Amino acid sequence: MKFSDLRKNFPEEPAKPAARPEKKYEEKPVERKPDEIPEAAPVEEVKRFKQEAEPPVIEAAVQVPDDMRFSIKKEEKDASARSDLKEMEKEFREKAGVVYSRALSISKETFFALNRPYVEKFSEIDYAVRILYGEMKGNPFFPGMISYLTPSNYLYSHCVNTAIISMGAAIELNMPEEEVLKVGIAAFLHDIGMPDYSELSKLERKLNENERELVKGHVASGLDKLEKIMDFERGAREITAAVISRHHERVDGSGYPDGLSGDGIDVYSGIVAAADVYEAMTHKRPWREAIEPPKVMKYFVGSMKELFPSRALKGVFSGLSMYPVGSLVSLSTGEIARVTVLNKKSFSRPVVKTLLDGEFNPMEEAYIDLMEYPLTDIEAEVEYSALAVKNPRFFSDFEISNFWVDW
Ligand SMILES: [Fe+2]
Ligand SMILES: [Fe+2]
């Protein structure tokens, strides 16, 4: 890759994004007791954790096939390539959408079915998790589905997304396939007790102390609901019961219901706990805004590092990377881009798609594989509050595009 090639595709003097205004909102991690925003980790800490988390040999969760390696350079060779790439993304996303939609439906049906005294739902739940897993292995665009939110009831997308993230972590930890699927089933069902508290979870304000205490009861409700699923496969039931019991426990003892600490929290519960927190923090709720995914990743290696078993956290971190798919980032050449496909060889060099120029004005979409452009780096995440000020229309379209409505 020649520097001149890079220059052909990027402005001589790229305009830098304007200084970002102060944050407009104070975000709080929903799953934690302390109300303050977690401190982001210093850059060195992120790098160090990255080295630790990046094992020497780990099979990629999603292998990006050679013909999926996008670059402007390749596009230049073939004038029609740009539309081909768009077409390819469209095809993969359509396929991802069908699977995601099916899993959402099964999640919704499961929540409804659990109002009955008993249900035979395991084979359907197992099927949902297997099709999600299959898509994770074969569709490089599939991880992007975790950006979606079901606006009518966030629980459905929350459970499906948590299953996707948790399985991604289990794959990164080299767990055998059957174990990965069990983690997926447990994550899919981790909040089955929540509908008993739906009045509280729909409130458009923060819960008070009493209400927060009440919602903790969703763990016990979840275990009761689990008993209603008559056809549950035995090994999967054990892991699911553990995850429902412990997904709010924290290594430092600050969690609930039992205030377990250290080794008291198994790796499956740890994975789902971290995936659960990531999913919740990166999506809008009736009472708060979403947090930018890369910022949550910084919390994971900063102030939230002590909350989860380290092996579980490494799996989640490896599966999502420093810049998870769907993140909006600013490039060192000035443009604003969306992370589109992860590069498993590098946590910080995914394939991105340019959306806005350095002045936050719309620009032609181009796919850039940052592995092929070593002189172009991701500089930082784009803060939603800055985007809302600089290009309100784009921001509102971006928020709406994350709502899963075709369902
Ligand atoms: Fe929960
Ligand atoms: Fe949850």
pLDDT tens column, 295-332: 999 999 999 999 999 999 999 999 999 999 999 999 99
- The 3-state DSSP class for residue 56 equals coil
Name the band, by pLDDT with cuts 50, 70 and 90, for residue 375.
confident
The mean pLDDT of 394-407, rounded to a whole number, is: 90
Name the band, by pLDDT with cuts 50, 70 and 90, for residue 392.
very high
C-alpha closest to that of 372 among 67, 74, 91: 74
Ligand 1 centroid to 247 CA: how many Å?
Answer: 6
Ligand 1 centroid to 131 CA: how many Å?
Answer: 24
Summarised one tens digit per residue, pLDDT across range 65-111 is 444 444 444 445 554 555 677 888 999 999 999 999 999 999 999 99
Name the band, by pLDDT with cuts 50, 70 and 90, for residue 117.
very high
Please give the pLDDT value at position 69. 41
Ligand 2 centroid to 232 CA: how many Å?
Answer: 21
Ligand 2 centroid to 134 CA: how many Å?
Answer: 23
**Per-residue CA distances from 394 to 45, 215, 279, 386, 404 (Å):** 33, 36, 23, 12, 18
The number of beta carbons lying within 10 Å of the beta carbon of residue 71 is 22
The mean pLDDT of 179-200, rounded to a whole number, is: 95
The mean pLDDT of 391-403, rounded to a whole number, is: 96
Which ligand is closest in space to the CA of residue 281?
A: 2
Are the C-beta atoms of residues 354 and 368 closer than 8 Å to each other? yes
Contacts of 124 (CB under 8 A, 6+ apart): 106, 109, 110
C-alpha closest to that of 358 among 74, 12, 86: 12
Give the rounded percent of residues in the chain with a pLDDT score beyond 90. 69
Q: Is the pLDDT of residue 45 over 90?
A: no
Average pLDDT over the chain reads: 84
Please give the pLDDT value at position 347. 86
Ligand 2 centroid to 272 CA: how many Å?
Answer: 8
The full set of domains in the chain, from first to last, is: 3-401 (1.10.3210.10)
